[in-house]
Amino acid sequence: MQAERIAPPLIAKVSLAILPFENFASPQRARLIFLRNRHLSRCSLRSIYDKTMLAVTSEVSKGNMASLFNFYNVRQKVLRFVCPKFLILPQIMIEKWKEKSKWRKRRNKLLDTVQLPERGRVLDLSCGDGQFLELVHLSRPILGLVGVDISEEKIKDAQKEYGWGSFAVKNAGSLSFPNKSFDTIFCNMSLHHYDEPIKMLSEAGRVLKENGNMYIMDLFPKNKISQAVYNLRGCNDDCHFEKYYTLQEFKKTISVANLKMNKAVLLSLLPRLMLLELKLNLAS
């Protein structure tokens, strides 16, 4: 008895949308469609490497994904002629892509703002799967890059994807690096997750070189009212959330950790995203 085939969606019944796709390196693009990167290079839809994607905005479950891709692979010659720069994705993946793309753009903006050293070592606290350090590597390939995170799963992903860096499972409040080990330290969109930020900041100050910089990018509400709103929204996050700090609160916190604020840059107004440049308080 022949197995019943799942009928692919008809082109006429599918709503299409064109979305920018330039903010992902190929490993991240591959993960979005549940492929290994090496398989992606052999995939008939390898136009994923181009700048745009064609998105199928109808709900498609993982169960019939194969059928959907089969359907278009059969017509790959037509696709390459009509839309050679598009990738077909179901709506469920588009939402995931949009969220990642938003923070990717903000990290790009961060790199345009900071002053990276020409040589030396860079530490990324709560590095996740290493995407930000990938941007640093592309900008300064000669730098020694180190990423730490408490998530074993994220660190394993980073170790698999990026051979140029060193990634380890570590608590940012208890680092094992020697004193004055790093020229630059980053803490991106993770300050609000720390239940003991003073420990993290003190450790960062310990491993930061005397002339080094620490950069913190996070949301800093302007007053107590907006802080309450930000904190309420943050409590709905999937991961652990502690609190968002006003700039005044944070200045007091870093003074305890022997750090001082050298510069504060407003990256966006809504939400109030800021980049803070910290240095060691050598006068204390």
Taking the domains of the chain in order of start, what are their residue ranges? 11-96, 114-280
Per-residue confidence (pLDDT) for residue 131, from 0 to 100: 85
Please give the C-alpha separations between residue 59 and each of 11, 21, 95, 148, 190, in angstroms, as whole numbers: 14, 20, 11, 36, 32
What pLDDT is attached to residue 29? 52
What CATH number is given for 114-280 in this structure? 3.40.50.150
Helices within 91-196 (DSSP H only): 91-113, 131-139, 152-161
DSSP 195: S
Sign for the CA dihedral angle at 61, 64, 66, 67 comes to: negative
Residue 95 has a pLDDT of 54
Assess whether the previous peptide bond of 271 is cis (omega < 30° from 0).
yes
pLDDT of residue 76: 44
- How many other β-carbons are positioned within 10 Å of the β-carbon of residue 73? 12
Mean of all residue pLDDT scores within the chain: 74
The answer to whether residues 124 and 144 touch, using CB atoms and an 8 Å cutoff, is no
CB-CB contact of 93 with 64 (8 Å): no
Residue 121 pLDDT: 98
Amino acid 125: pLDDT: 98
Ranges in the chain, pLDDT < 50: 1-21, 33-93
| pTM of structure | 0.67
What's residue 241's pLDDT?
A: 76
